[in-house]
Amino acid sequence: MSSQQDEAQGTLLLPGDSDRRGWGTAHGHHGELLQGVFEFAGSLHRGLVTLPCPIMSTEASVVVTEETPEWTVHPPWKTKALLAARATADILGEKAGGAVSVQSNIPTGFGMGSSTSDVTATIRAVLSAFGGTLPTDRIARIAVEAERAADPLMYDRMLLFAHREGLILEDFKVRMPRIKVIGFVARPEPIDTLALAPARYSRWEIESFRALRGMLRRGAAEGDVAALGRAATASARLNQRFLPIEHFPRLLQVTEETRAAGIEVAHSGSVAGLLFDAADPNLAGKTDRARRELLRIGISHTWEFFTDGDDERLPDS
């Protein structure tokens, strides 16, 4: 097989290299439609529903080194990916080590799942290199062990996910409805998610999360983007008590003026987005006005995407 053919399959073999190589990918997310505390099996758990962002992704490659059990990663600061590679090899019972290379366009500290994307892509690459398989739930637990808290990027459907436990609190059993997102930076500085103290919610807020969970459930079942948008907006409002956005009242006005389905935020990050039903016949006019209104409040840098990955437009450099 030629090197060009190998490269097309995610593997490039060079003379003298190990033929045990693997490749994996994972997308990022764009904050959360909902984040809070939810009931499951008789107790409360912290959980979230992420908004998929196909324009952000990580690619990981692995070369197995038969002569040593050591693992390395490039770039070297991707230590969580390194931990995930070691853990995956151990679970598979493999004694060989390997070299992991991680490439990503996901910015760190913006609440877009950069660490989980790195870790998930790396786990998939290690599995590919060794010819192994693991249930997705096990991949999720490896990610949580490597990160302390992980997003559900290893799944391909809408979930209410306990990000500190690797536990599915509710499976909505559908993919995210097709949503057009106008994204932007809502907080000027990156945020260290793990350095944030977990939010302490009031009883009223916990009851609110119960209602919003039901709204998301109905919206997912019916493909109702408006319902998802209302839940996301309410969750963003609740998060203002813990990690406020300076211009949030004005952003709510923009949401109403442009007749967006809602606004979503990274509850422990810097990005936010206006949500629009992709099937809306007036979609182009609404999104054009949204960008103009955002510009009026000083937000000139925006990007846009569909949650299913079609017609993507990357952020300007």
In sequence order, the 6+-apart residues with CB closer than 8 A to the CB of 128 are 10, 21, 22, 23, 24, 62
| Residue 18: per-residue pLDDT | 58
pLDDT for 189 equals: 83
DSSP 3-state assignment of 172?
Answer: coil
- pLDDT for 77: 96
* Whole-Å CA distances, 183 to 142, 189, 264, 285: 30, 16, 9, 17
Cβ–Cβ < 8 Å for 41, 57: no
Tell me the helices (H) and strands (E) count for the chain, helix number first.
8, 10
3-state SS string over 159-209?
EEEECCCCEEEEECCCCCCCEEEEEEECCCCCCCHHHCCCCCCCHHHHHHH
Average confidence (pLDDT) per 10 residues, the chain, 317 residues: 35 51 98 98 97 98 92 97 98 96 96 97 98 98 96 98 97 97 92 83 97 98 98 98 95 98 96 98 98 96 91 51
- In whole angstroms, what is the distance from residue 57 CA to residue 144 CA? 19
> For position 11, what pLDDT does the model report?
41
Residue 136 DSSP one-character state: H
Domains annotated for the chain, with CATH where assigned, are 3-169 (3.30.230.10), 176-306 (3.30.70.890)
Residue 165's Cβ-count burial label (10 Å; 0-12, 13-18, 19+) is: middle
Torsion 187-193-196-199 (CA) sign: positive
User: In this predicted structure, what is the pLDDT of residue 303?
Assistant: 97
> Strand, helix or coil at 287?
helix
> Rounded distance, CA 189 to CA 177, Å?
30
Question: Which of 3, 38, 33, 37 shows the shortest CA–CA distance to 17?
Answer: 3
